[in-house]
Amino acid sequence: MSSAENIDPLMEEQEHEFCGHTLKLAMFKGACLGVSAYIWGPGLVLCQYFQDQKFDFTGKKVLELGSGTGIVGILTVLLGGDVTMTDRPKILQQIQYNVEANIPATARNRSKISALVWGQDQDKYPTDYDIILGSDIVYSPSQFPGLIQTLQYFCRDNTIIYMSSNLNARMGAHDFHSDLLPKLFNSEFLHQSGGDYIYKVTKKTSQESSACV
C-alpha cells in the first residue's frame, strides 16, 4: 500500500464498527473528490441494517454503485460477498486504499474495484449480479436519468437492489423514491433512521409493467 501522506497529505480517517469488524476508512480530503471524500449517513444506516438483520453475503455476486470511500462494499466483502465496488474513475484510488487497509489478503480476491459512470459504462459489465447496492447515490437530479438506465440494465428477474437515501437533505430524493422509482421497479420500504430510508428494489413482472402503462 502507498503511504497515505504520499497520496494525500490532507487525508482524514474515521473508524466505524459493524458486524464485529472495525473499519478504518480514509477520506482523501485534498484530492478534489467532492462528496466522495466523506462517509454519509445513508451508508452508515445501510451497514447498521446489515448488522441488525444479520446479513450473510456468502456466495452472492454483488455490485456497488457510487462506492465513495467503499464503506458499504468493504463490509459486504467482510460478510462473505464477492463484490465489485464502482464509482467515477478519480474515486477509485481512495476505494483501493480502503480495501487494502480493511480487507485481509485472504479475502481480497472477493473484491474488485472498477470505474462505472452511470448511463455510460454499465454495458461493459455482466448482468448476473445477485445484489446491487447504492447508498446515498440519489442526490443530484441531473444524474437520475443515467442512474435509472444503469439500474434497469442490472435489474434482472432475481436481482435485489438495496438503496439507502436521505429523503430530507438530498435534492430530488423524495420524488425519486416516491414517484420515479416505483413507476419502473417494485420498491419496498424496509427501514428508516432519521432522514435516511432503505428500500429493496426489484424488477416488475411483465404483468406489473403493462399495468402501469
Ligand X SMILES: C[S@@+](CC[C@H](N)C(=O)[O-])C[C@H]1O[C@@H](n2cnc3c(N)ncnc32)[C@H](O)[C@@H]1O
Q: Residue numbers of the site for ligand X (CB under 6 A)?
A: 35-36, 39-40, 42-43, 66-69, 71-72, 87-88, 91, 117-118, 135-137, 139, 143, 146
The number of beta carbons lying within 10 Å of the beta carbon of residue 58 is 10
Is the Cβ of residue 184 or residue 204 nearer to ligand X in the bound state? 184
Q: Is 187 helix (H, G, I), strand (E, B) or coil?
A: strand
Rounded to a whole number of angstroms, the minimum distance from the CB of residue 152 to ligand X is 15
Shortest reach from residue 175's CB to ligand X, in Å? 18
Smallest distance, ligand X to C-beta of residue 1, A: 21
Toward ligand X, which CB reaches closer, 197 or 212? Answer: 197
38 versus 107: smaller Cβ distance to ligand X: 38
For residue 187, the one-letter residue type is S
Distance, in Å, from the CA atom of 57 to the CA atom of 130, rounded to the nearest integer, reads 10
Sign of CA dihedral 159, 136, 149, 199: positive
Minimum CB distance to ligand X, residue 95 (Å): 9
CB closer to ligand X out of 119 and 204: 119
C-alpha 47/C-alpha 63 separation (Å) is 15
Place of cell 474495484: 113
- Angstrom distance (rounded) from CA 28 to CA 139: 21
